[in-house]
Amino acid sequence: MKIAPIIKAMNAQPQIEHLLMHTGQHYDETLNKYFFEDLKIPEPDINLGVGSGSHAEQTAKIMVGSEKVFLQEKPELVIVVGDVNSTMACTITAKKLNIKVAHVEAGLRSHDMTMPEEINRLCTDVLCDYLFTTDHFANKNLLAEGISEDKVFFVGNVMIDTLITHVDKAKKLDVWKRFGASRGNYVAMTMHRPGNVDDRDVLSNIFEALQHIAKRFPIIFPMHPRTNKMIHSYGLQDYVQSVDRRKGVLTSGIWTCDPLGYLDFLNLYMNARFVLTDSGGLQEETTVLGIPCLTMRPNTERPITVELGTNILVGNNPKRIIKTANDILCGNFKKGQIPPKWDGKAGERIVEILSKEFYS
């Protein structure tokens, strides 16, 4: 979702020669297939295929694999996106080879060092030569950390580029009908963060809260492979039921299904009453679409979605989840507004800046 607008913008600049490297950190074949097809991203020129492993194992594999690629291809610039292990690993490897690095989505901070992503962000940003930011919070974070202002470029949000490009196509799908739901009369949900799913007590408490909500509105929950694994590991299957086993119209309950492609899920949540999530990207997308979003985390690296958008932090506190959901169901929620430069042109701005740097 983050690389697609950049590739599109680079393809419009014939002087730019680029290669797409997929590390394989996100290795679920179904999810990969959906995203590459939905977003019309070309097949990667290079696939490291690193697969699963601990953070250290994954990072090490990515560093070893990317070093071989960088030594062979000798790029002038490496562009990394987001905050995953691949982002940090490729940055460290490139810089040790004296290759310049650009970070797209730089400066985001949760100030929570228990999050692996926060460590990745900090390590990446201190090393990069070009830091492309999404909002004023990110700019302030980088400057407060001593980053030179001439490295920081406020360009907007590439996630929103992808959203704007595909929203009209997604509107035509009516995915909610497949589940026997009716528009605006269900809740869409995602959940996969370790802080929510790796502790049995926390996870069961969240499901207890969700059951209260699901008595009024069914919850449709495309389940991440990690979450599915933990639910079965903890014996919490009774909290959920498979949407494939329903009969007739979707009724009260927490209904699970396999992961959806980008377009299908976009259609699902844009027609929901509200969204429950612990995902960063959904906080941004719901803000642009004006959909109420309850984020089940104590903090967010995207505070602009709380300041200007439709996002409300509820943590994993059952009482707060229930109260805030009830408020929304009663029509009491903030409408929000779209942050500056979230206009679908971030990828173009990034490539324009880099073109001037390397081809002027």
Q: Where are the domains of the chain?
A: 4-156+345-359, 167-329
* Domain 4-156+345-359, CATH homologous superfamily name and number: Glycogen Phosphorylase B; (3.40.50.2000)
Number of C-beta neighbours around residue 78 at 10 A: 23
Q: Kindly state the percentage of the chain with pLDDT values over 90.
A: 85
Architecture of domain 167-329 in CATH? 3-Layer(aba) Sandwich (3.40)
Q: Is 324 left (phi over 0), alpha (psi -120 to 50) or beta?
A: alpha
Q: Is 341 left (phi over 0), alpha (psi -120 to 50) or beta?
A: left
Domains 4-156+345-359 and 167-329 share a fold: yes
Assign 32 a pLDDT band (cuts: 50, 70, 90): low
- pTM, whole model, 2 decimals? 0.93
Encoded tokens for 190: 């995602």
The pLDDT of residue 244: 79
Q: Kindly state the percentage of the chain with pLDDT values over 70.
A: 97
The pLDDT of residue 83: 96
Assign 38 a pLDDT band (cuts: 50, 70, 90): confident
Query: Is 60 exceeded by the pLDDT of residue 303?
Result: yes
Interatomic CA distance for residues 179 and 187, integer angstroms: 12
Q: Burial letters for 40-58: b for 16+ Cβ neighbours within 10 Å, e otherwise? A: ebeebebebebeeeeeeeb
Encoded tokens for 350: 């990034």
Average pLDDT for 113-136 = 97
Catalytic residue among 18, 136, 192, 212: 192
Give the model confidence (pLDDT) of 267-295 as tens digits.
999 999 999 999 999 999 999 999 999 99
192 a catalytic residue: yes
For 154, residues 6+ apart whose C-beta sits below 8 A from its C-beta are 133, 134, 135, 136, 138, 139, 341
3-state secondary structure 163-176: HHHHHHHHHCCCHH
Among the listed residues 5, 10, 14, the one whose alpha carbon sits nearest the alpha carbon of residue 39: 5
Assign 149 a pLDDT band (cuts: 50, 70, 90): very high
Give the model confidence (pLDDT) of 67-115 as tens digits.
999 999 999 999 999 999 999 999 999 999 999 999 999 999 999 999 9
Whether 187 contacts 217, CB under 8 Å: yes
